[in-house]
Amino acid sequence: MSIEQNREELGDDIYCIDSGYLRPKMAACYLIREGDAAAILDTGTNFTAPTVYALLNALGLTRDNVKYVLPTHVHLDHAGGVGQLMADCANAQLVIHPKGALHMIDPSRIAAGATAVYGEERFTNDYGTLLPVAEERVIAAQDGDTFNLNGRTLTFYDTPGHANHHGCILDSKTHAIVTGDTFGLSYRELKTDKGDYIFAPSTPVAFDPDAWHQSIDKLMALNPSAMLLTHYSRVTDLESLAEQLHRNIDAIAEIAISEEGEEAGRHERIKGKLGDLTAQQIIDHGVDMNKEQILEFLASDLELNAQGLEVWLKRRAKARS
């Protein structure tokens, strides 16, 4: 796929960029342009940077026109490219959740954790080298903080649940919200004539169903025109999708709680139950895949979600002890 094919214009100077992470249309980042200023919301990985720069050039802009880089949270499919973009875009400021700021100033802890999970070779192949960001260029955004992009306002909202360092960004011009993972995952391959299929990513390590429900309600109370998902692109049937997402969060929490007693073999049992639930929902949604194809397509998601639920159960057990 060429660089030009990796982007989609959504109107009102918002562009969805395929980050190139793992597979086509797996993970997006967004570029918002207002006059001679641009903001990049979520970044993909280091390997996404050339696609971002090609779009800037196509718009008659340069890297010097990037005013803000705004990752929704520090998971590497959302923020792995932050250091590279900040190194190349000399005038940009990094806007990030306060709990994520230190990880961008010194990404060594994130790199070590991801290397432990994926192995050094896969980490290097998927993410490259994480570059630190100078502290003086970092803005730790508080809930409700606004950022001026040539008169177009970007408002940051604290939205824990998927991660405790997660924020979403409301665009004043379109009233669309860049949601990271707070409004779930809705892959384009799973859309049918019934609409979009959406589910909650309980990726390690901070799954919090109660906080997540509150964050979804908080976003919906803003009466957005659309949600711009990292996984993947724009969705607009928001009432229905919010209901689906609330139900999914409860369902996966119930799966975890059903395994609260016996730890031996628990991870595989949780993953199996997640697979059964998700595959049946997708089949009922009318997607032209059988169960085996669905489990293969979502293998990485199911593994990470099971890991996250396992961490949550251990946190619950520790809180009770």
Is residue 244 a part of any domain in this protein?
no
Q: What is the pLDDT of residues 94-105, one digit of tens each?
A: 999 999 999 999
Angle value at C-alpha 41, between 35 and 46, nearest 5 degrees? 115
- As a whole number, the mean pLDDT across the chain is 96
Across 308-321, average pLDDT: 92
Which range of residues forms the domain containing residue 148?
3-182+206-213+222-236
287 is a domain residue: no
Average pLDDT over residues 286-314: 97
The tally of domains found in the chain comes to 1
The mean per-residue pLDDT over the stretch 14-30 comes to 97
Percent of the chain with pLDDT over 90: 93
Res 158 pLDDT > 70: yes
Q: Is 197 contained in some domain? A: no
pLDDT interval class at 4 (50, 70, 90): low
Please report whether residue 29 resides in a domain.
yes
Q: Is the pLDDT of residue 1 over 80?
A: no
Confidence band (pLDDT; 50, 70, 90) for 115?
A: confident
181 pLDDT more than 50: yes
Is the pLDDT confidence value at 116 over 70? yes
Q: pTM for this one? A: 0.96
First to last CA, the chain: 53
Q: What is the largest CA-CA distance in the chain?
A: 59
For the chain, give the percent of residues with pLDDT over 70: 99
Evaluate if residue 114 carries a pLDDT over 90.
no
3-state secondary structure of 170: strand
Task: Indicate whether 261 pLDDT > 60.
Answer: yes
Residue 31 reports pLDDT greater than 50? yes
Specify the CATH number for the domain of residue 110. Answer: 3.60.15.10
**Would 153 be classed as within a structural domain?**
yes
Q: What is the per-residue pLDDT for 42? A: 98
Q: Is residue 316 part of a domain?
A: no
Asked whether the predicted pLDDT for residue 3 surpasses 60, the reply is no
The mean per-residue pLDDT over the stretch 81-91 comes to 98
The verdict on residue 17 lying in a domain is yes
Residues 177/219, Cβ–Cβ less than 8 Å: yes
Q: What is the DSSP string of 243-311?
A: HHHHHHHHHHHHHHHHTSS--TTHHHHHHHHHHHHHHHHHHHTT-S--HHHHHHHTHHHHHHHHHHHHH
Judged against a pLDDT cut of 60, whether residue 236 lies above it is answered with yes
What tokens appear for 130 in the block?
Answer: 């994480």
Task: Summarize pLDDT for 207-232 with one digit per residue, the tens.
Answer: 999 999 999 999 999 999 999 999 99
Q: Is residue 82 part of a domain?
A: yes
Residue 2 pLDDT: 43
